Amino acid sequence: MAAAPPVLRVRNLTVEFATDAGIVRAVDDVSFDVAGDETVALVGESGCGKTVTGLSLLRLVPEPPGRYAGGSIELAGRDLLALPGEALPAIRGRDVAMIFQEPMTALNPVFTIGTQMADVLRQHRGLSRSKARAEAAAMLAAVNIPDPDRRLDDYPHQLSGGMRQRVMIAMALSCRPRLLVADEPTTALDVTTQAQVLAEFRRLQQEFRTAVILVTHDLGVVAETCTRAIVMYCGSIVESGPTAELFRHPRHPYTRGLLESVPRVRAERLPELPVIPGRVPDPGRLPAGCRFADRCSRVQSRCRDARPPLQPVGAGVPVSVACFNPW
Amino acid sequence: MPIAQYALRKLLAGIPLVIGVTLVSFALMVYFGPDRTYELLGKNPTEEQIAEVRSQLGYDRPFAERYAGFLREVVTFDFGYAATGEPVATLLARTVPVSLLLILPGFVLGHLVSLGLALLAAYWRGRVADRLIMALATVGMSVSFVIVMIGFQIVFGSSDWLGWFPVRGWSTDSVGEYLRYIAVPTLATMFVAIGYDTRFYRALVAEEMTRDHVRTARAYGIPEARIFTRNILKNCLIPVITRVMFSIPSVAVGGSLLIESYFGIPGVGRATYEAIITGDQPVLKAVVTLTAILFVLVVILNDILYRVVDPRVSLE
C-alpha cells in the first residue's frame, strides 16, 4: 500500500494565530506523509487543528492573523511554505485542490456553475472558452450529474446541497490535482445524500488516482472511505495508523474515547452514551505535559510532567501513538 | 415579458405614493409656504386689493377644491404659468436638461471613482495606500459641500491661483465650452461624493472578502486582483445599485439647487429655489410632482437592476 512515493510530506508544521488573548498555536509540530494513492483522514473534535492543517496544505490560512511559525509542507517536492505568495495561485487548484464544508456558500452565488468551473480550467489549463465549457460539462457528467450541459447554466441556488457538493468535487478534480483536501465534505448534507456523495467520492478518487486528505469528525465516514487515519487533539497528532487497525485496536485513550462515544445501533440500549469526561483545555493555556492528561482514565504522574512524543508502537504494526501508557 | 409586466404593476402601485407626496407638500405649501399676495401688492395695500389678489391666485377657495385642482394639473401634466408669465412646461423644458447635463458627469464619475478607490483600499488593506485613500475620504466627508465649492472656485477659478475654469455661468455652445463650465462643479461634487461613498463601498468590499466563495476562488488559484474586480465586485453590486439609485432624487433636487445657485447656472434647482423664495406655487407643484414620479421610477429601475445582477432575485 505504501509503495507509491509520498505526494505530500508535512514536517513539523506549526501554525499560530494572533488573538486578543495572545498567540495561540492551532497546529503544533505536526508531521505526516500522504502517498499518491491514499485516502487519509484527519480526525478530531472541533478546534483540534484539523481544519487549519487542511487549509495549510494550500497555504490558505489567512495571514494575518495566522502565521506559519515553522515546518515545511512539501507537495510534489516543493515546499509551499518557502514559496513566494505570487507563486501560490499557479499551484492552488492545479496541484492541490480543496472541497469545503458548506456547499451552500462555497460557490459564488452570482456566477453560473459553468462560469465558475470554466474559470478554473482556463486559469490552469489555458483552455479556450468553448473548450473549457465542454470540459466542465464532461466533469459534471463524471460526477453523475444528469443533463450536464443544461446544469452549466444554472446558478448555485438552483441546485440541491448534494448537487452543489458534486459540482465542487467536479471542479476540484477538473485540473487533475495530485492532492485533494476535503474539509467535512458531507457534514452539511443529509444522511442519504451523504452516502451517495461519499460513494461518488471514493469512485472518483480511484478513477483520477488523486491522493485525498479527508478532514472530518465523523468516524463513520473515516471507516468507509479512508485507508489511514490521523487523530488530532489540541493541535497535535495523538495517534495515526491504518483505519482498520485503529478501529480494531485504538491505543491512545483519546482515540478509544472518540470511538466509544460514537452513537451506533447496539443490541442493548445503554443507560447513557459514553462520553469523554472533562473539556478540551484552553488553547491559550495548555498544560506542560500531555494535553489529554486531565481527561484521561489512564493518566500517570509522568504524563503531567512531559509531553509524550509520537512514536511507532513497533512489533511490525504501522501505528504511531503519542502516549506513555497506551492501551 | 415579465419585466414589462412588473414595471407596469409597480407604476400602478406608485400612484398612491405620488398622491401622498403631493398632498403633504401641497398642505405645507398652503399653510406654511410664502404668500405671493404681499409681493404683488407692495407696501400698504387695502383690504379690497388683498382680497382681490387672493381670489386671483385662488387662495380664497377651500383646501379640498385647491388640491383637487392640483391633482387635475398632475393628471393632465399642465401646471399653468409661472410667476414670470412663462408656461411651467416651457420653464421645465428649459431648465431640466441644464441640470441633468450639470449633475450627471459628477454623479457617475463620483460613484465610479469611489468604487475603484474602495476596491484598491480593500486590496491594499492595512497598508499605506489604504490609509491614504481613507484619509482622503474622511477629508471629503468632513468638509461641508458649500466650503468645498467656494474653495474649488477660488483654487480653479481665481486668476491668483490656477485660473483654469470659469466658475459662473453656463454654455453648451460647444463640447469644449460645456466641459469648461462643468469642470469645477463636477470636481466639487466628486470630492464630496468620494468622501461618503468610498467609506461605504470599502466596507462592502471588506465584508464580501470574508465570504466562503472568495476563499474558494483563492483555493482554486484565481489571481487576487481578478477576485476583487470580478468575484467580489459583482457580489457587491446590489448595495451599490441601491445607494446609487436612491441618491438620484436627492442629488437631482438638493445637489443641483446648491451647485446652480453657487455657480449661477440656470437649471431646475435654481428655478425651484427662486420659486420657494417667491411662493411661485405652479412651479413648486410641478417640481414636487416630478420628484415624486422620479422616485417611483427609481424604485422600479432599482428592482429591475437587482434582477439583472443577482440571479437569486425574482421580480415577484
The three-class DSSP label of residue A10 is strand
Q: Kindly indicate the confidence band of residue A4, based on its pLDDT and cuts at 50, 70 and 90.
A: low
Pairing outcome for strands A96-99 and A179-183: parallel
In a domain, A252, yes or no: yes
pLDDT in tens, B222-256: 988 899 888 899 999 888 998 898 888 777 777 78
Residues B282, B294: contact at Cβ < 8 Å?
Answer: no
- Rounded to whole angstroms, how far apart are CA atoms A57 and B227? 21
Residues B283, B89: contact at Cβ < 8 Å?
Answer: no
- Higher pLDDT: B40 or B132? It is B132
Q: Kindly indicate the confidence band of residue A1, based on its pLDDT and cuts at 50, 70 and 90.
A: very low
Q: Kindly indicate the confidence band of residue B1, based on its pLDDT and cuts at 50, 70 and 90.
A: low
Q: What is the pTM of this model?
A: 0.80
pLDDT at B163 over 80: no
What range defines the domain where residue A282 resides?
233-263+274-327
Q: Kindly indicate the confidence band of residue B47, based on its pLDDT and cuts at 50, 70 and 90.
A: confident
pLDDT attached to residue B285: 83
The B-side interface with A (CB below 8 A) comprises 211-213, 215-224, 231, 234-235, 309-312
In a domain, A284, yes or no: yes
Q: Kindly indicate the confidence band of residue B175, based on its pLDDT and cuts at 50, 70 and 90.
A: confident
- Rounded to whole angstroms, how far apart are CA atoms B179 and B170? 10
* Chain A residues near residue B311 by CB distance under 8 angstroms: 109-110, 112, 155, 157
The three-class DSSP label of residue A74 is strand
The three-class DSSP label of residue B287 is helix
Average pLDDT, chain A: 86
- Rounded to whole angstroms, how far apart are CA atoms B267 and B226? 42
* Chain A residues near residue B310 by CB distance under 8 angstroms: 109-110
Residues A34, A5: contact at Cβ < 8 Å?
Answer: no
**Chain B contact probe: residue of A55, A102, A108, A112 with most B CBs at under 10 A:** A108
* Chain B residues near residue A89 by CB distance under 8 angstroms: 221-224
Q: Kindly state the average pLDDT of the residues A106-128.
A: 90
Q: B221, A88: Cβ pair inside 8 Å?
A: yes
The three-class DSSP label of residue A67 is strand
Q: Which residues contact B279 (CB under 8 A, 6 or more apart)?
A: B33, B34, B35, B36, B39
Q: Kindly state the average pLDDT of the residues B261-269.
A: 87
Selection from B150, B253, B246 nearest residue B200 by Cα? B246
Q: Kindly state the average pLDDT of the residues A261-278.
A: 74
Weakest mean pLDDT among A65-69, A108-112, B73-77, B294-298: B73-77
In a domain, A322, yes or no: yes
Selection from A202, A236, A172 nearest residue A32 by Cα? A236
pLDDT in tens, B191-207: 888 888 999 999 999 99
pLDDT at B109 over 90: yes
Query: Helices (H), strands (E): how many in chain B?
Result: 14, 0
**Chain A contact probe: residue of B215, B220, B228 with most A CBs at under 10 A:** B220
Q: Which residue of A has its CA nearest to B238?
A: A110
Q: B221, A93: Cβ pair inside 8 Å?
A: yes
- Rounded to whole angstroms, how far apart are CA atoms B77 and B290? 10
pLDDT attached to residue A230: 93
Q: B219, A98: Cβ pair inside 8 Å?
A: yes
DSSP assignment string, B114-141:
HHHHHHHHHHTTTSHHHHHHHHHHHHHH
Pairing outcome for strands A78-79 and A236-242: unpaired
pLDDT attached to residue B201: 93
pLDDT attached to residue A162: 85
In a domain, A129, yes or no: no
**Chain B contact probe: residue of A55, A57, A104, A110 with most B CBs at under 10 A:** A110
Q: Which residue of A has its CA nearest to B230?
A: A111
Question: What's the sign of the alpha-carbon dihedral A177, A179, A184, A186?
Answer: positive
Q: B219, A92: Cβ pair inside 8 Å?
A: yes
How many separate domains does chain A show?
A: 1
Q: Which domains does chain B have, with CATH numbers?
A: 103-267 (1.10.3720.10)
pLDDT in tens, A237-250: 999 999 988 888 88
pLDDT attached to residue B262: 86
pLDDT at A153 over 60: yes
In a domain, A244, yes or no: yes
Q: B220, A88: Cβ pair inside 8 Å?
A: no
In a domain, A72, yes or no: no
Q: Bridge partners of A182? A: A99, A214
- Rounded to whole angstroms, how far apart are CA atoms A309 and A238? 9
Cα–Cα separations (whole angstroms), residue A241 to A11, A205, B167:
17, 20, 80
Q: Kindly indicate the confidence band of residue B113, based on its pLDDT and cuts at 50, 70 and 90.
A: very high
Residues A276, A294: contact at Cβ < 8 Å?
Answer: no
Q: Which residue of A has its CA nearest to B312?
A: A157
Compute and round to an integer the Cα radius of gyration of chain B: 24
Residues B292, B18: contact at Cβ < 8 Å?
Answer: yes
pLDDT in tens, A28-68: 889 999 988 888 999 988 878 889 999 999 998 988 788 89
In terms of Cβ atoms closer than 10 Å to its own Cβ (0-12, 13-18, 19+), residue B109 is: middle
Q: What angle, 0 to 180 degrees and rounded to 10, lies between the N-to-C axes of helices B281-309 and B268-278?
A: 140
The distance of A322 to chain B (nearest Cα, Å) reads 32
pLDDT attached to residue A152: 92
- Rounded to whole angstroms, how far apart are CA atoms A136 and A113? 9
Q: B216, A100: Cβ pair inside 8 Å?
A: yes
* Matching residue, cell 440541491: A160
In a domain, A196, yes or no: no
Three cell numbers at B35?
Answer: 404668500
- Rounded to whole angstroms, how far apart are CA atoms B134 and A40? 47
In terms of Cβ atoms closer than 10 Å to its own Cβ (0-12, 13-18, 19+), residue A223 is: middle
In a domain, A189, yes or no: no
Please name the residue ranges forming H helices in B143-219. Answer: 145-152, 175-209, 212-219
